[in-house]
């Protein structure tokens, strides 16, 4: 029972819950970026360079092996560099998005730190007490 209570205390801390929310939002953001790259960025880019679909780009290292009847015995061994290009675009977009968010957060922090603390005028009672204190010091 003691271990269960310790685990409950650990799991209910704010940091763990914040981390869980971050992971869930990060997963959803990753899906959005994947769709952006696969469905919006890469098709026009592929059309510009001659109708190439990047995920289909590969180099055959070893051809597939067929038996006498034409049935595949061993699949072809390929180097899928097109998929690597696709994932690189995704990484760049995610990294740039995170950079922009952090830059915005840092800008907000700097503005908050640069705002001077407003010093209010002391009330009449406080001014009187300060005068009494100064007279007592003399």
Residue 59 pLDDT: 92
Residue 95 pLDDT: 84
Residue 105 CA to residue 49 CA, distance in Å, equals 38
- Name the range with the highest mean pLDDT among 2-6, 11-15, 32-36, 77-81: 77-81
Alpha helices in the chain (DSSP H): 2-11, 14-35, 42-48, 81-114, 124-137
Could you tell me the end-to-end alpha-carbon distance of the chain, in angstroms, rounded to an integer?
67
User: Tell me: domain 2-112, CATH 1.10.1740.10, correct?
Assistant: no
Q: Do 58 and 82 touch, CB atoms closer than 8 A?
A: yes
pLDDT in tens, 37-63: 888 888 887 788 787 777 888 999 998
Backbone angles phi, psi at 75, to 5 degrees: -70, 160
Q: Can you list the pairs that 76-80 forms with residues at least 24 positions away whose Cβ atoms lie under 8 Å? A: 80/55
Residue 54 pLDDT: 78
Residue 79 pLDDT: 92
pLDDT in tens, 95-126: 888 888 889 888 888 887 776 666 678 888 88
pLDDT in tens, 84-97: 888 888 888 888 88
Residue 116 pLDDT: 66
What is the helix (H) or strand (E) element at residue 60, kind and residue range? strand 59-62
C-alpha to C-alpha distances, 19 to 4, 12, 66, nearest whole angstrom: 21, 11, 51
pTM of this prediction exceeds 0.75: no
- Hey, where are the domains in the chain? 2-112
């Amino acid at each position: 029972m003691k271990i269960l209570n310790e685990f409950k205390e650990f799991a209910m801390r704010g940091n763990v819950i914040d981390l869980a929310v971050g992971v869930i939002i990060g997963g959803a953001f990753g899906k959005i970026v994947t769709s952006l790259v696969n469905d919006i960025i890469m098709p026009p880019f592929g059309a510009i360079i001659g109708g190439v679909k990047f995920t289909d780009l590969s180099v055959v290292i070893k051809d597939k092996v067929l038996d006498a009847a034409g049935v595949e015995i061993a699949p072809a061994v390929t180097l899928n560099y097109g998929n690597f290009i696709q994932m690189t675009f995704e990484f760049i977009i995610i990294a740039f998005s995170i950079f922009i968010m952090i830059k915005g957060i840092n800008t907000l922090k700097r503005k908050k730190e640069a705002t001077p603390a407003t010093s209010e005028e002391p009330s009449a009672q406080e001014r009187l007490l300060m005068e009494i204190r100064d007279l007592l010091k003399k």
